[in-house]
Chain A
């Protein structure tokens, strides 16, 4: 049983291709990472990132296509803007902004994506655990 939860919002284009390629190459996702597939990271709202943390996630990672190569033109750019806003909000409420990250990944970058996901997990594991975890359903 893993001790931390990470919600990974993964777009169904390049991000998912990268994860699938990594899976075929025998690279396993850490158990803490729960994948929520969305058509485009641009679909994601800031409330959904916050709700993830409120309902038990220690961190949120948004994985989308590279900017200027988003399958839907602007989605990953909009998502990054929202992730940056959530980071500012977390700073304001004295939480760690490193709990929410955006990773841009191309379909061919499976290995690099897995590396970044593991680095994110490592950083989260080093943070103090959230006091309200499990309190909100």
Chain B
């Protein structure tokens, strides 16, 4: 039985795990994806020369430090099928999907990643991923789809690949449980007037991050060229009663501004316009915008984008209000990035019900059961950014410590 089972290996789960390990506790992290690390694994650092405090590296450095820690066991690709109280703790029945890589045999030599002919099939662990070993995405991998390709297995020096790995089941127990299942990005397809999904070069911030991760820089999906005029629209899917959620997702102002800054610094000949409803950064506004200086290629303005339409020559027309004089403007862009918010995962509600926890109408977990040792950390409780989730994970570790040690 582990001292603590942490469900979800995002920033909150990683923060809690690192702290509990440093206190000598045994920790098991159940993670639905192939790596523990959460959303930060998909995000890029927003600094070019100067750190912009985007905090993407903070939980990932933490993951990297504890990847080989004794006392830590990470179960990736795990789905919870059932739970019950047992022996004073909680038992979870798991379904573990195949990774097709034997983690114990992998030496991290990188030869498989170099040999794979399909982008996204052999996924190498990003910095901070735990376990620090690749996995095969069987939906894209040519071995599974058609051609029985075995390039990765051929170059692997230790024979770590097993294309025949099957689904497994397992039962795991922990004295205390931390629910840290985090948030999913909001799908802006429901925000119909923005045309996401059918207008070309309208991306979410996460789509843009994936392009940057693949190419090392931002490019238009339609023609692979660098964009010259980019519009970043904040609050997409948040603060709305149509096609999204009513609350404010909190992290997007901080994230959006830093993302904009990274774009401006790395694509210096592009024009970037940033459109926000309210600027909810926690540092004072003057500090948050100080980096702009006297740059002419970046504008920050308050307003609402009412519609995005297709323009001539593969451009996009964005119609928006201006805050200062209540007029309406139209601008032409060759890329629009929708800064989407986040919402709790549907699995969170199911898990909460299993564990006897309450969720609100949005799906956030709003109770915990410290008597039975079931705690909640991170953005599955309320919208949070990376730093706040990471901190909350550590704060929850303090409650867990009391539960494990203080005699009643």
Contact = CB atoms under 8 A, between A and B. Distances in A.
A interacts with B: yes
Interface of A: 14, 17-18, 20-21, 23-28, 65-69, 80, 104, 106-112, 114-115
B124 A107 contact: no
B47 A104 contact: yes
Contacts of B125: 21, 24-25
B243 interface: no
Contacts of B118: none
Contact of A108 (B108, B111, B115, B127): B127
Q: What is the interface residue range for chain B against chain A?
A: 20 to 34
B113 A24 contact: yes
Interface stretch (B55-63, B232-240, B315-323): B55-63
A69 B47 contact: yes
Interface of B: 40, 43-45, 47-51, 56-57, 60-61, 64, 108-116, 124-128, 132, 212-213, 216-217
Contacts, number: 90
A106 B45 contact: yes
A133 B108 CA distance: 37
Contact of A115 (B43, B57, B111, B216): B216
Contact of A66 (B45, B64, B109, B126): B45
Contacts of A68: 50-51
A21 B57 contact: no
A20 B125 CA distance: 11
B65 to A, nearest CB: 10
Contacts of B112: 26
Residue of A20, A65, A104, A109 with most partner-chain B CB within 10 A: A109
A17 B108 CA distance: 14
A66 to B, nearest CB: 4
18 contacts: A21-B126, A23-B108, A23-B110, A24-B125, A25-B110, A27-B113, A28-B110, A28-B114, A67-B51, A68-B51, A69-B47, A69-B51, A104-B47, A106-B57, A107-B127, A108-B57, A110-B127, A115-B217
Contacts of B60: 107-108
Listed residue (B114, B116, B128, B216) with the most chain A CB atoms within 10 angstroms of its CB: B216
B128 A24 contact: no
Given A26-B115, A28-B110, A107-B61, 12 more contacts: A21-B126, A24-B110, A26-B116, A68-B51, A104-B48, A106-B57, A107-B57, A107-B127, A107-B128, A108-B126, A111-B216, A112-B217
Nearest to A67: B50
